[in-house]
Amino acid sequence: MKSFVYTGLPMRVVFGAGSVKQLGAELDRLGVKRALLLCTPGRAESARAVAKGLPIAGVFDRVVMHTPLALAEEARKVATELKADCCIAIGGGSTIGFGKAIALTSGMPVIAVPTTYSGSEMTTIWGISKENSKQTGRDPKVLPKAVIYDPELTLDLPANISAASGMNAIAHCVEALYAHDGNPIVSLMAEEGIRALSAALPKIIIEGMDLSARTDALYGSWLAGCTISTTSVALHHKLCHVLGGFGLPHAETHSIVLPHAMQYNRDAADEAMKRVARAIEAVDAPRGMYELEQRLGLPMKLADIGLKKDDLERAARIASDAPYPNPRKVEYAPVLELLQHAYEGRRP
């Protein structure tokens, strides 16, 4: 075994069906008197229902994807005007992203109630977008003080969002397995996260109300979030960040790019590929991942989610000019080829 450094983050997790009933107890534990509730417009009614009877000073229900700076500033202003002492983010990575944006400048505690599988609630990573790019960073201030995982809140997550969001979580695990600063503990979580998610997602696609599968998927997404909380991400995430800056939807982009990024790293990350293959019960990890996505009915081509062919070269250039550490050297020509394959949805 190689030497390694392992950092554990202070995380409080309340997990299980019906656990959202403990939100009041979590607010009490932090001494919260005036919480700001965050949600997307579509989830406003259910978020309000969850928070009924709790000390809510106001609701910001205009959350959108990728935390645009102007809207994040508005949310910060609302928090200040309300004299809020905590943010409760009920929703997916976008909603949690707004909580983090507020925490970043104010230090305000965040309680996250995730309703997708993005894993953002477990990380110190924040992201704010402006024009065609997204600035990201890590700051312990943005890590939620408590996370409530209640699979009952995910029962109505539509099949397509469940599948794409689940693949986003699997992508965290895959990159953690070959991260330059990975370690055996994170690898255990990563392999188990891939196993739990890849077994649960096909069941969810058939029956969204399957509480047992929903519970397993949320468990997997928790592990996935843990894996990227302290290890670095590599080429796959770099490409998705670049493509996110072009306005592509986050989770679907992860899903489409993942088998191709794995294929790029395949020979340079042999042990990681073996662990992925074992977790998804496939012979070949990149091809098995591609086939899992096909079974989930996910879009398979970047062309189908809004990328313009003319943008391929620009994306490859940005990703290879300032690469994240990656098992295989990141070079323009093979990265462009990777993107072309993802654009056309070719089988690895």
Interacting residues toward ligand NAD by CB under 6 A: 40, 42-43, 65-66, 91-95, 97, 115-116, 118-120, 123, 125, 127, 153-154, 156-157, 161, 165, 168, 250-251
Q: Are strands 125-130 and 133-138 parallel, antiparallel or unpaired?
A: antiparallel
Nearer to ligand NAD, 41 or 184 (CB): 41
Minimum distance between the CB of residue 281 and ligand NAD, rounded to whole angstroms?
A: 25
- In DSSP terms, which residues pair with 129 in a beta bridge? 68, 134
Nearer to ligand NAD, 145 or 266 (CB): 145
Nearer to ligand NAD, 198 or 227 (CB): 227
Minimum distance between the CB of residue 343 and ligand NAD, rounded to whole angstroms?
A: 21
Nearer to ligand NAD, 148 or 157 (CB): 157
Tell me how many degrees the CA angle 185-228-104 measures, rounded to the nearest 5: 130
Nearer to ligand NAD, 64 or 336 (CB): 64
Minimum distance between the CB of residue 83 and ligand NAD, rounded to whole angstroms?
A: 27
Distance, CA of 245 to CA of 242 (rounded, Å)? 5
Minimum distance between the CB of residue 269 and ligand NAD, rounded to whole angstroms?
A: 21
| Residues, the chain | 348
Reduce the DSSP state of residue 295 to 3 states and report it: helix
Among candidate residues 151, 166, 170, 161, the one with its CA nearest the CA of residue 209: 151
Nearer to ligand NAD, 80 or 124 (CB): 124
- Indicate the Cα dihedral angle 143, 29, 31, 128, nearest 10°: 10
Cβ 84 vs Cβ 108: under 8 Å? yes
Q: Residue type for 97, please?
A: G
Distance, CA of 13 to CA of 11 (rounded, Å)? 6
Minimum distance between the CB of residue 127 and ligand NAD, rounded to whole angstroms?
A: 5
Minimum distance between the CB of residue 93 and ligand NAD, rounded to whole angstroms?
A: 2
User: What is the token pair recorded at 314?
Assistant: 């620009």
Residue owning tokens 């209640």 = 150
